[in-house]
Structure 1
Amino acid sequence: MARPKADLPSAQALRALADDEGRLAVRVTPGSRSEGIEIVEGRVAVKVRAKPEDGKASAAVLDLLAQALEVAPSKVEMLRGATSREKLFRVPPE
């Protein structure tokens, strides 16, 4: 059975939540049944299927953010939170 596509907000909506330096705070839920990005009360919440072991969940979050922002994963940089549910990413400008 094929997995459903992830629910993603627009790139514009995500970039609007980044600060002046392009930093975007994200709250991660690893091991979720579905993948997606939600904007809840002005905060970004990301759900990924990957388990939080050996950086798999962090890599999945980075890939999902890049997909939502419509950029290559190499353009999104994790600044803080490699082992935390609260992560900080630098996203490229439009």
Structure 2
Amino acid sequence: MSSYTPVALVQTERGVELPVRAIPGASRNEIGGSREGALLVRITTAPEKGKANRAIIDLLAEVLDLRKKDLVLIRGVRHKNKCFLLQGAELSGIEERLRGLVDRDGQRQGKANR
């Protein structure tokens, strides 16, 4: 079992940058823990025509309690390593939500099935 790695969040003037590692083709949409500073996001959608990116935004908005329009993909449109800007978010609030999602072993504590 891998040890917990904190997500490398960055506070900017516009919000919080959240690094994500996308894992398409999963059996369910869920947060899969963290690895190497990125939040692991498993999604059922194939990475074609932006469908996977939209599925990630849907899931992140749900689990972080944010509006979809406040999540902006700023890097990695066509890559599994992505970075999202959580517009207007505060670092402390996002860290707290992530701690509630990911336990110290880097495993997701709950699921968001779609």
TM-score by length of 2: 0.63
Kindly tell me the number of residue pairs found equivalent between the two proteins.
80
Task: Measure the CA separation in 2 of the matches of 1:60 and 1:80.
Answer: 16
Is 1:68 paired with 2:63? yes
**Structure 1 alignment gaps of length 5 or more:** 1-13
In our comparison, the structure showing a higher alpha carbon Rg is 2
Given the alignment, which residue of 22, 31, 45 partners 1:28? 22
Residue 43 (structure 1) aligns with: 38
Residue 49 of structure 1 aligns to a residue in which SS? Answer: coil
**Structure 2 alignment gaps of length 5 or more:** 1-5, 94-114
Greater than 2 Å deviation, 4+ residue runs: 38-43
Deviation at 1:17, TM superposition (A): 4.5
Residue 105 (structure 2) aligns with: none
Residue 87 of structure 1 aligns to a residue in which SS? Answer: strand
Structure 1 window deviating more from structure 2 (78-87 vs 40-49): it is 40-49
- The percent of aligned pairs where both chains have the same amino acid is 29
Deviation at 1:35, TM superposition (A): 1.2
Deviation at 1:72, TM superposition (A): 1.1
Pair 1:71–1:24, CA change in 2 (3 A)? same
